[in-house]
């Protein structure tokens, strides 16, 4: 007498036998946190150059769309819009001295900031 035995996997066995296909998920916020402002020279006296860089040194497709310079109280002192191919730089106005905040808005609308020291000789 031959007995045919059928073995079916339980749901738990099927779930445990699955191979992971996604090793990591990085959220949009985590990716935005990996972008930092590169600004030089800092302290600056005449011309400030800046860009957006990935903290791990990897390529980023982030580009600067707008730059603002504010004092520590949030008062807007300088604003500039950029288009593709523009050099990212600000000619520092003569009257500015002290600590300021450079705010860069990227192509996704994310805002990145860096403290800038303006040290002009009078």
Q: Which long-range contacts (CB under 8 A, 24 or more apart) does 77-81 make?
A: none
Residues 62-72 pLDDT 10s: 899 999 999 99
Distance, CA of 107 to CA of 112 (rounded, Å): 12
Residues 85-118 pLDDT 10s: 899 999 998 888 999 999 999 999 999 999 999 9
pLDDT at 83 over 80: yes
**Does domain 11-118 sit in CATH 2.130.10.10?**
no
> Residue ranges of the domains in the chain?
11-118
Residues 18-59 pLDDT 10s: 555 555 555 555 666 789 999 999 999 999 999 999 888 767
């Amino acid at each position: 007498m031959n007995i045919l035995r059928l073995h079916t996997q339980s749901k738990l066995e099927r779930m445990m036998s699955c191979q992971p296909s996604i090793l990591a998920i990085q959220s949009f916020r985590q990716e935005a946190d990996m972008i930092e402002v590169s600004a030089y020279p800092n302290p600056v006296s005449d011309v400030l150059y800046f860009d957006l860089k990935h903290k791990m040194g990897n390529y980023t497709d982030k580009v600067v769309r707008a730059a603002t310079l504010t004092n520590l109280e949030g008062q807007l002192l300088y604003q500039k819009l950029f288009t593709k191919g523009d050099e990212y730089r600000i000619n520092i106005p003569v009257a500015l001295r002290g600590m300021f905040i450079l705010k860069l808005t990227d192509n996704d609308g994310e805002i990145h900031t860096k403290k800038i020291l303006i040290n002009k000789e009078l």
